[in-house]
Structure 1
Amino acid sequence: MADDEDEGEGGLYEEGHWIWDENANQITFVSDRPVVVDEAIQMPTKMPTGAIEFRDDVDLIEQLRYRRRYQRKLKPEQPDIVTVQDCKDIAVYTAPVSILSPALVNMLHIPTTERFIKGLILCCQYYLQVSDEMAHRMLDLETRVRTPYCDVVEQEFGTNLNDLRVLVAKEYCTMLIGGADTKKYHHMGPAKKRRSLSDKDARLFETLLRMCVQIVWLALGRRAFNQIELEVNRLFKSEIFNAVEHTLKTNYVEKMTKEERNVLLGECVRTDKKLTTKSPMMNEVFCHRDIDYRMMGIGVIKMHQLPIRLKYIHNIVAGPEENYAALGVSLGIVGLSRSNFDTMLKPLPTAEDQKSKKSLGSMSSASAKSSGSIKKSGMACGQRKLYADIHLPLRSERGDPFPSSFPSEPEPPTSCNDTQRRRWLKRLHRLRRGQRASAGKRA
């Protein structure tokens, strides 16, 4: 059978040995196979341009193949919940082979990228939540008088979004400078002494960014894709270089009201000359505002006596996903039971869904009057709400005194699934080998 064409290449746990990992406190498999660096498949040869389309029409046969070979297998003590790894697995499985590379697969499975993805999901989830809320508030103001309390509420929304953007930006900065576990992916080498390979660097980050958009979309229940893609590209590339906006031509920023712009874009937006423009994500790090210094160490440095707000964020970004429900935190569908979703993480229909289909007409007309942002959220589309809203604890009014010495003890790294990483590398090697064989026959 064609499904079994790679069964003769050996099992996942062949040609290796098992060791006890003190950090993970578990047995880990170490491969004895020599590391073969194939420059031809290290990175795609061309910069990805235009829309990179992921397959969303996976048929039942392919789903069965995915479940049998590539879906994350549970250990006896593990709960059957959706994890970020599940979202990554589906994104890699449905991605075009042309954009995949060993460097990309490996980079998706390191602690820094794991925290980066979780922070990006959290940021996008709260952005969509606040965007919906602001759209409703602007509609209400057509018939109501604006009060000073409106400024207080909207300032809280804006502060929360600023802090969540900083949470993502700190990990992004680590990637850019090749710090921590991202050293070997830096375009100038781990020691930064090679000639700058800026094209290779651009290809890696372009594909990583598109992959992260897909992962965020899957983690947020497959909703508001355009809104997620537009905002992520604005954050990392600025409005000037937002290729998605140039393609879609939505003018969503220009259509925002002044109040929406202040909340959703933040106070750290800088307008420089085109070639010296910094991305909004970088502006968040160097913004002249009150930023809790402990935000920069979440998931990296072990800090004691964190305030409630930072504990909430730490539990999401660096805490075990199986504890989300008990701790009352929300990160999209992550932490929910996998039985509520099919193999591709599409929500299974319920009786309530059938009833809701009959009442969509009135909601679409109300959505059309919104501020101009692309409204495709669960509320706007009449979809069933899959997960709870984010309720970030308020920032402490009293300033905590600086400690006598800053903490330096590292926190245990965020766990990544090395078994899945090796699975995807093996699949990529097999697919690329098949492509080269086909090209040889045609030649």
Structure 2
Amino acid sequence: MKRLHIDTDVPNYPSGKWSWDEEADCLKFVPHSEMGEAGERFVQTNGFKFLRTLDEKEETVFRQKYVRPGARYDLETIGLDDVRDLVLFMMPKEFLTMKFVRFVHQPAVHRLFHALIIYFNYFLQLVEFILIRRDETTVASRQMQTHQTSEVKRIWSMYLSQYRLLVARNYSIILKSEGDLKQFYHTKEIVHITANIEDRAFQNQFLAFTIQVVWITLHRRAYFVIEMEMNRLFFSEQFLLNVRQYPEFTPVERSFLYGRNSKIVNYRYQRSPLTQELMNIADEDLPILWIGERIYRGTDTRISELELEYMVPGVQLYMADISHGILGHPKSLYNTILSLDWPSVRYANFSMNYDPYYIVRQPNLHIPNLNTRTVRRMSKSLQQFFKLYSIYEQTSDEVILNWVNRAKVIKHYKAGKSLDGVAKRPTEHPKDTRNVNQIVDKFIDTMGKLRKEIVKDTEPADRVNAAPHYVIKGDERYFRK
């Protein structure tokens, strides 16, 4: 298999647009650096300006200083970390605080991003189905709706509520602010006074950041649908902005998309849809709360499907024939801003028979059996005592500080100063003061990231039904065996 060589020295993405030159009577490429503050340069997200594209100098800085470095087993594949780093580079400079950058690198926030991508991947499919169904019922030769179609819609709506429950579970972990997240809690320990203004600004920035992460991951499509639904999930419909591009749904369509737990009351007592999902959980959906924490041991195939979709790392989704946007796709098919490079796609020779990344094919809604809900209620549920241990490589303070100084680094490079690139390093001949043991330890640590190394865990087996268990290094999770 040919390995991908990633050159981080020179930009490879032509930032600009083609326009017709009346004088020369031909097409002319205009770089974004010559457009000034044109609308094509930025995208508004909840009132914040995010970069839509990068010019040549910005791309050079990003590829040399901020692209995911180091020896990793998934370096040639797009992961959630790549999308997060791109949004960090394209976000407004007022976001660049030590607190915010450190927060988005937390493992709990990473899992929330992952759950939101799974939810919106399914949500956009249902919105597309609604729009198609709306067109079919408004034409002269309209199609009749039967009892079977209504039952299939109820099952699809139930599936969407399950994805929403998974998002609510991960978001509630962040709200509790336990462990490493305690430093981000909005009240002080002794006086317990809430910093309302600071906390509100922090939440709005994080929500805008999350919208960008989900939008870029899902091929930059249906932006206003994602923005509207994201604000509805974390606030409620009473606090949605009146944006002309937001779609409008009928009461029947709303009940299909938002589920049976969605209720609108007086704004003084209104709860967010995520809170409403946690307050009304069906008995057969209770095992969803353990997904990612313990292995499911029941006979409900729907829970097993959810567990597989959530537990497979993003860089390995193509092995399970699962599509979550651009996650798991090779970097050779994408440019610096993670948009499809269509010449590379054409040369890859994908077809309906060979399309592991769902580029030629499109993710579709599978028609379920009509007795799905009855079968789920009759399924057996066993005790879940096999605990899962997540692996997440902590980000160093040096990397965090590098992100905080992003604006200074870009200004430094645009002033004509060097970034100490690869071309300059061979002429410096730095002294290596490390001893042999340090070099060997670094080599073993690097190889642990490139291959799966099985090591015995040292946790005492003092639980009921506990047994010696092992962990796999180099993956995104631990599991008991």
For normalisation by structure 2, the TM-score amounts to 0.66
- 1:297 corresponds in structure 2 to 290
Question: Which SS does the other structure have where 1:270 is aligned?
Answer: coil
Q: Which amino acid aligns with 1:411?
A: L
Per-residue deviation, 1:94: 0.4
Per-residue deviation, 1:62: 1.7
Equivalent pairs counted in the alignment come to 351
Matched, 1:196 2:175: no
Partners in 2 of 1:284 and 1:329 — Cα distance? Answer: 25
Q: Choose 308-317 or 56-65, whichever is displaced more.
A: 308-317
- C-alpha root-mean-square deviation of aligned residues, in Å? 3.2
Q: Which runs of 5+ in 2 are unaligned?
A: 1-8, 10-43, 347-358, 412-481
- 2:19 corresponds in structure 1 to none
Higher relative contact order (CA 8 A, sep 6+): 1
Q: Which amino acid aligns with 1:203?
A: A
Matched, 1:397 2:376: yes
- 1:19 corresponds in structure 2 to none
Question: Which SS does the other structure have where 1:78 is aligned?
Answer: coil
Query: Which of 305, 308, 311 is the aligned partner of 1:312?
Result: 305
Q: Which amino acid aligns with 2:378?
A: G
1:253-332 equivalences under 5 Å are: 255-287=248-280, 289-304=282-297, 307-332=300-325
- 1:115 corresponds in structure 2 to 111
Matched, 1:71 2:67: yes
Which of these two proteins has the greater Rg computed from alpha carbons?
A: 2
Q: Per the alignment, do residues 414 and 223 of structure 1 end up closer, same or farther by CA in structure 2, a change over 3 Å counting?
A: farther
- 1:161 corresponds in structure 2 to 160
Q: Which runs of 5+ in 1 are unaligned?
A: 5-47, 354-383, 436-443
Query: Which of 425, 428, 439 is the aligned partner of 2:401?
Result: 425
Per-residue deviation, 1:256: 1.7
- 1:85 corresponds in structure 2 to 81
Alignment deviations for residues 123-151 of structure 1 (CA, whole Å, 9 cap, x no partner): 11111111101211222234111111110
Q: Per the alignment, do residues 219 and 150 of structure 1 end up closer, same or farther by CA in structure 2, a change over 3 Å counting?
A: same
Q: Per the alignment, do residues 414 and 229 of structure 1 end up closer, same or farther by CA in structure 2, a change over 3 Å counting?
A: farther
State the identity %. Answer: 23
Q: Which amino acid aligns with 2:86?
A: I
Per-residue deviation, 1:108: 1.4
- 2:14 corresponds in structure 1 to none
Per-residue deviation, 1:233: 0.4
Partners in 2 of 1:265 and 1:329 — Cα distance? Answer: 24
Alignment deviations for residues 288-321 of structure 1 (CA, whole Å, 9 cap, x no partner): 5445212112223344457443333334433322
1:320-399 equivalences under 5 Å are: 320-350=313-343, 388-389=363-364, 396-399=375-378
- 2:389 corresponds in structure 1 to 412
Question: Which SS does the other structure have where 1:300 is aligned?
Answer: coil
Counterpart contact for 2:318–2:328, Cα < 8 Å: yes
Alignment deviations for residues 88-121 of structure 1 (CA, whole Å, 9 cap, x no partner): 0010000001023222212212221111101111
Q: Which amino acid aligns with 2:147?
A: P
Partners in 1 of 2:345 and 2:403 — Cα distance? Answer: 39
Counterpart contact for 1:240–1:274, Cα < 8 Å: yes
Counterpart contact for 1:300–1:411, Cα < 8 Å: yes
Give the structure with the larger strand fraction: 2
Partners in 1 of 2:273 and 2:202 — Cα distance? Answer: 20
Partners in 2 of 1:108 and 1:196 — Cα distance? Answer: 21
Per-residue deviation, 1:192: 7.7
- 1:43 corresponds in structure 2 to none
Partners in 2 of 1:402 and 1:315 — Cα distance? Answer: 17
Partners in 2 of 1:123 and 1:220 — Cα distance? Answer: 11
- 1:172 corresponds in structure 2 to 171
Q: Per the alignment, do residues 250 and 59 of structure 1 end up closer, same or farther by CA in structure 2, a change over 3 Å counting?
A: closer
Give the structure with the larger helix fraction: 1
Partners in 2 of 1:72 and 1:351 — Cα distance? Answer: 22
Counterpart contact for 1:115–1:414, Cα < 8 Å: no
